[in-house]
Structure 1
Amino acid sequence: MVKPFSAIQRNAYLEEMEGQELDLLVIGGGITGAGIALDASVRGLSTGVVEMQDFAAGTSSRSTKLVHGGLRYLKQFEVKLVAEVGKERAIVYENAPHVTNPEWMLLPIYKDGTFGKAATAVGLKVYDKLAGVKRKERRNMLNKKKTLEKLPMLREDGLKGSGVYVEYKTDDARLTLEIMKEAVHRGTKAVNYTKAEELFYENGRVAGAKVTDLISGRSFNIRAKRVVNAAGPWVDELREKDGSKKGKYLYLTKGVHLVIDQSRFPLQQAAYFDTEDDGRMIFAIPRDGKTYVGTTDTYYDGRIASPRMTQQDLDYILNAANYMFPGLKLEEKDVESSWAGLRPLIHEEGKSASEISRKDETFISESGLISIAGGKLTGYRKMAERIVDMVAKDLGVKAKCTTDKIVLSGGDVGGSKGLENFLEEQTKAGVALGLSEEEAGKLVKLYGSNVKRVYEILETSGEEARHFQLPKSVFASLVYGMEEEMTVTPIDFFNRRTGALFFDIQWVRKWKTNVLNYLAYRLHWTHNQRVRFEKELEKEIAYAAHPEEKVHEDKVAQ
């Protein structure tokens, strides 16, 4: 059976792309590139995607993991942005309920804090109106007593009350993957670890790209009528290759999040609160037995591919958490994992990182290269619509955007209303196949309606798990990742496919060798490839668990 998104068939997809002229080549496999590919494919455009790293490996797996309505943008009077992303998050929820769920957020109000009580009440009411928030999810204002009943760990000194409103929690990397998988299902050819080395031109117009498969080393010339640069933090590098980096440019900022076990940070109610010193606001959010806290927002000019948590980042977030939750007394040793990501913002003279607009920007060069940068995860679909509208008009395609009605891969669970029943039924189905209730429940939440394919793997190949000394649930997840989600390396599996590097790092340490063994066997790695991927995994584990100043790469694999 031909699997259109298999790690084993990557070369075949590249050969197919080289063998035709595409309508559209998208460079960049984050959420923006995935959204563009889906919209273009739905409108009938032959579409290819190349991604230099893994899908979602950049900004799209390193966010605060919220499909957020952008409450804080009201402070910057970004009314149109708040209205658009507020409505968009409801669409994301309906189309991918398995990776998106409502999360009530508490916004504590303190004397001399960022938000006063009256301003918060008005702000949240305006936010509800602009974002089209459902009646049952509209904000509530609480007094001090009710606030402390909801979140007894809060600092009491100066507390006046709180506002409670709804955000939507997501798994950003899996959301990106589900969009890409839906695009592939509808005809897109997408390949990771494939770098656009240079653009080529015909009659002064960009006509495609020479790309290199970073796994095999082979190069391919992919021709396309239109080329879109959706490379996130790398957008300006591609504009430089095109000779069109003029005017506005990217301003990269770094955001860091820490993950702490609930035994040390027993947070049951998500919160969005002021820091003590600089008045920035950060989130603390419970997830899967952990609490994650972030984020920082600092200018970044280091290596784009590998932003890291520094000691300063770690201390800043711990101090903020200890200030707001004084009983915790968190220390560095309590941090189990972390992640650092880059925001590709559009430079604005005289503004700090936190003040720069999160609006997206489109650049069209003289050669016809279309570049898109900035924007929010929540607004990915509208960004894609604007880009594909341009491309479709150029190519004489009259079809309009319909992605607001398209259920994403894994989302066929009966909508947000049918999700609970689906989870219950499929968990029982997993238990009937010999999984524990916990194992089955995790798989259903991770894969949504695609869990049925994972269960098929269990039924047909489950016995092979013994040979590699892997639990059946891990084995089935790994095989599904390789065959249906283009899992190429162990870090793809432990980070973007399962989220375990951040939220269950001990599980990663437990199964890393066995997972490496299976990937090496199925993908026919050379000895050098195995060494390379093992070192990469060890390095990412080390950097997740420690500030970069304390990680010595020569000792990582020891």
Structure 2
Amino acid sequence: MLFSNINRNEVTHNLENSQYDVLIIGGGITGAGIALDAVTRGMKVALIEMQDFAAGTSSRSTKLVHGGLRYLKQLEVGVVAEVGKERAIVYENGPHVTTPEWMVLPFHTGGTFGKYSTSIGLKVYDFLAGVKRSERRKMLTADETILKEPLIKKEGLNGGGYYVEYRTDDARLTIEVIKEAAARGAHLMNYVKADRLIYHDGKVVGIQAEDQLSGGRLEVRAKKVINAAGPWVDSIRKMNGSLSKKTLKLTKGVHIVLDQSVFPLKQAIYYDTPDKRMVFAIPRDGKTYVGTTDTFYQHDPRQPKITKEDRNYLLSSIHYMFPTVNISEKDIESSWAGVRPLIYEEGKDPSEISRKDEIWESDTGLITIAGGKLTGYRKMAESIVNLIAKKFKDEHDRLFSNCLTKNMPISGGDVGGSKNFSHYKEEQISNGKKAGLTMEESEQLLSVYGSNAPILFRMIEEDGQEAERYEISILLWAKLKYAIDCEMAATPTDFFYRRTGALLFDIKTVINNKEKVCNYMAKIFSWSNKEKAAYEKELEEKIKVAASPSQED
């Protein structure tokens, strides 16, 4: 069966007529990781997400699978050690969605980091994170730092640290984990909102929910229910009557995107701000993106808005560290904001609150996981599924295996490991050319879709004429058809935002193709005129939000 909303009625039927071991509420990276871990141990797994998969925090990060260098400053050694080691695992299991990115950390007189603290900090970082020899830190002189990135502020520059982080597409990483869980037998569905918990003998045994696309109602039942709803974790706990003791505190992070023509950054930089925070500036596909802010947030987490203060803060940080870069608000091409669901610590500023994850269990048996980082998703999943496995052993005398995901490629990652990925692409380019693509087009699809790219090649060979009928470029059509048939995309926004990232990094393509994509999806899903108009309106609003420099709260 395709992993597609074309089969939505069949998926709904399965959810309603199955008794699951585990039901997960939340389809971000945490829920996705739990689903994959649990299903590969032999558990019968269901997952529901009230929006699209990865629509919340998991598509709004800094797009880095990073080890949390700044947490060394807060002496969170355990966090650095764990997520640092996980970076390499995430990369190895999905080299098509994760790429090593050498980063320069410049240090200036009076800055947060000095030469000695940077050297020691990065050395400790390498040790804690288990960084392989070829990616261990190097120390640069001031001249070497400028050679790496000539735009860096030269006044007071004393040198730089040179170390590796891993760049990712957070939404695609989440989708690939979701797809792997589905391929291994988990039942997962987006646009299903849990609005009531079901109890038996005082214990949570399922949810009642509303299908956000059809308006229909459904029930899903399971022996164990996991609340992995990210920013909405506390709303599920409130529904359960277990919102007490520790609660979430949402903080907002904002990023802006500029074209390389106005900010020609050639080297990723992790740099100081005047208020002693740290910000990333990262080149990506002809753009430079900069972030992030860190402020408390109390509004609707579904669409956090960018304020003038957010925008000006990032522009000021650029002017501070890259004084020759002459940019203003009008140069911001697109932007995004996301919220971090952190565990509240009284008296701490947003940047000081720990990114550690915690697991809570209520008297009714609802298991909640909160906090954590994108990088540590697999370990978070392992912890919570270990807990569930123990409960099944104690309560039902059922045994499940230990965690199997450490050396398990996610969907698209079956390329023989990160070292073999380039060779895999070289081998497969001929199949792309056979489908009529150029070498560059073939390489592009292979780089994004990994071992799933041959599926797109076959689609082009067999049905590529559809692209001409809808006047869509062959590459965009292939991505669209694959997103619909194999990635559960239900709306144009799903496609342009979370399946391709074009809404953030190639907004002109979205504007030029929005009507064609809407027409194609309307035909595939048999939308009424009213439904089509609603999805078109939603996309227009998302374009407006992404392209507007600021939207006041």
Q: Which TM-score applies when normalising by structure 1?
A: 0.97
Instruction: Identify which of 15, 35, 40 aligns with 1:37.
Output: 35
What is the rounded CA distance, in whole Å, between the counterparts of 2:426 and 2:270 in structure 1? Answer: 32
The 5 Å alignment of 1:390-469 reads 390-396=387-393, 397-469=399-471
What is the rounded CA distance, in whole Å, between the counterparts of 2:253 and 2:532 in structure 1? Answer: 31
- Secondary structure of 1:177's counterpart equals helix
Instruction: Identify which of 20, 32, 38 aligns with 1:22.
Output: 20
Instruction: Identify which of 285, 289, 293 aligns with 1:292.
Output: 289
Partner of 2:479: 477
- Displacement of 1:550: 7.7
State the AA in 1 paired with 2:426. E
Aligned residues: 548
The 5 Å alignment of 1:112-191 reads 112-191=110-189
Structure 1 vs Structure 2: percent identity of aligned residues?
Answer: 56
Instruction: Identify which of 329, 332, 353 aligns with 1:332.
Output: 329
What is the rounded CA distance, in whole Å, between the counterparts of 2:376 and 2:414 in structure 1? Answer: 22
What is the rounded CA distance, in whole Å, between the counterparts of 2:551 and 2:282 in structure 1? Answer: 27
1:18-67: per-residue Cα shift (whole Å, max 9, x none)?
Answer: 10210000000000000000000000000000000000000001000110
The Cα RMSD (Å) is: 1.1
Partner of 1:389: 386
- Displacement of 1:329: 1.3
What is the rounded CA distance, in whole Å, between the counterparts of 1:437 and 1:381 in structure 2? Answer: 35
Q: Is the 8 A contact 2:330 2:549 kept in 1?
A: no
Q: Does 2:78 correspond to 1:80?
A: yes
Partner of 1:502: 504
State the AA in 1 paired with 2:377. Y
- Displacement of 1:548: 4.2
1:434-474: per-residue Cα shift (whole Å, max 9, x none)?
Answer: 22333322211111110011111111111111111111211
What is the rounded CA distance, in whole Å, between the counterparts of 1:109 and 1:464 in structure 2? Answer: 54
- Please, which runs of 5 or more residues in structure 2 have no aligned partner? 394-398
The 5 Å alignment of 1:53-72 reads 53-72=51-70
Q: Does 2:325 correspond to 1:323?
A: no
- Secondary structure of 1:272's counterpart equals strand
- Displacement of 1:268: 1.1
Q: Does 2:526 correspond to 1:524?
A: yes
- Displacement of 1:126: 0.4
Instruction: Identify which of 295, 299, 304 aligns with 1:302.
Output: 299
- Secondary structure of 1:155's counterpart equals coil
- Secondary structure of 1:404's counterpart equals coil
Q: Is the 8 A contact 2:53 2:190 kept in 1?
A: yes
Q: Is the 8 A contact 1:446 1:498 kept in 2?
A: no
Partner of 2:272: 274
- Displacement of 1:197: 1.0
Go from structure 1 to structure 2 and tell me whether the alpha carbon gap of 1:550 and 1:73 turns closer, same or farther (over 3 Å shift): closer
- Secondary structure of 1:338's counterpart equals strand
What is the rounded CA distance, in whole Å, between the counterparts of 1:212 and 1:438 in structure 2? Answer: 44
What is the rounded CA distance, in whole Å, between the counterparts of 1:398 and 1:482 in structure 2? Answer: 34
State the AA in 2 paired with 1:432. K
What is the rounded CA distance, in whole Å, between the counterparts of 2:438 and 2:211 in structure 1? Answer: 40
What is the rounded CA distance, in whole Å, between the counterparts of 2:184 and 2:473 in structure 1? Answer: 33
1:262-289: per-residue Cα shift (whole Å, max 9, x none)?
Answer: 111111110000112x111100001111
Q: Is the 8 A contact 2:192 2:211 kept in 1?
A: yes
- Displacement of 1:315: 1.0
State the AA in 2 paired with 1:424. E
Partner of 2:5: 7
Q: Does 2:357 correspond to 1:355?
A: no
What is the rounded CA distance, in whole Å, between the counterparts of 2:440 and 2:314 in structure 1? Answer: 32
- Secondary structure of 1:282's counterpart equals strand
- Secondary structure of 1:441's counterpart equals helix
- Displacement of 1:477: 1.1
Partner of 1:212: 210
Deviates more, 1:418-427 or 1:56-65: 418-427
Go from structure 1 to structure 2 and tell me whether the alpha carbon gap of 1:398 and 1:435 turns closer, same or farther (over 3 Å shift): closer
Q: Which TM-score applies when normalising by structure 2?
A: 0.98
Q: Is the 8 A contact 1:308 1:547 kept in 2?
A: no
State the AA in 2 paired with 1:514. K
What is the rounded CA distance, in whole Å, between the counterparts of 1:393 and 1:320 in structure 2? Answer: 49
Partner of 1:555: none
- Secondary structure of 2:74's counterpart equals coil
Q: Does 2:379 correspond to 1:377?
A: no
Q: Is the 8 A contact 2:334 2:549 kept in 1?
A: no
- Displacement of 1:432: 3.2
Partner of 2:254: 256
Q: Is the 8 A contact 2:305 2:551 kept in 1?
A: no
What is the rounded CA distance, in whole Å, between the counterparts of 1:106 and 1:332 in structure 2? Answer: 26
- Displacement of 1:480: 0.7
Q: Is the 8 A contact 2:301 2:338 kept in 1?
A: no
- Displacement of 1:145: 1.0
Partner of 1:515: 517
Partner of 2:98: 100
Deviates more, 1:38-47 or 1:144-153: 144-153
What is the rounded CA distance, in whole Å, between the counterparts of 1:25 and 1:11 in structure 2? Answer: 19
Partner of 1:556: none
1:469-521: per-residue Cα shift (whole Å, max 9, x none)?
Answer: 11121111111111100010000000100010011000111111000001000
- Displacement of 1:261: 0.8
What is the rounded CA distance, in whole Å, between the counterparts of 1:437 and 1:550 in structure 2? Answer: 45
What is the rounded CA distance, in whole Å, between the counterparts of 1:274 and 1:400 in structure 2? Answer: 43
Q: Is the 8 A contact 2:86 2:376 kept in 1?
A: yes
State the AA in 1 paired with 2:24. V
What is the rounded CA distance, in whole Å, between the counterparts of 1:126 and 1:367 in structure 2? Answer: 43
State the AA in 2 paired with 1:456. R
State the AA in 2 paired with 1:323. Y
Instruction: Identify which of 90, 105, 130 aligns with 2:88.
Output: 90
What is the rounded CA distance, in whole Å, between the counterparts of 2:50 and 2:249 in structure 1? Answer: 21
Q: Is the 8 A contact 1:97 1:419 kept in 2?
A: yes
- Displacement of 1:310: 1.6
Partner of 1:343: 340
Deviates more, 1:36-45 or 1:452-461: 452-461
What is the rounded CA distance, in whole Å, between the counterparts of 2:277 and 2:248 in structure 1? Answer: 22
State the AA in 1 paired with 2:322. F
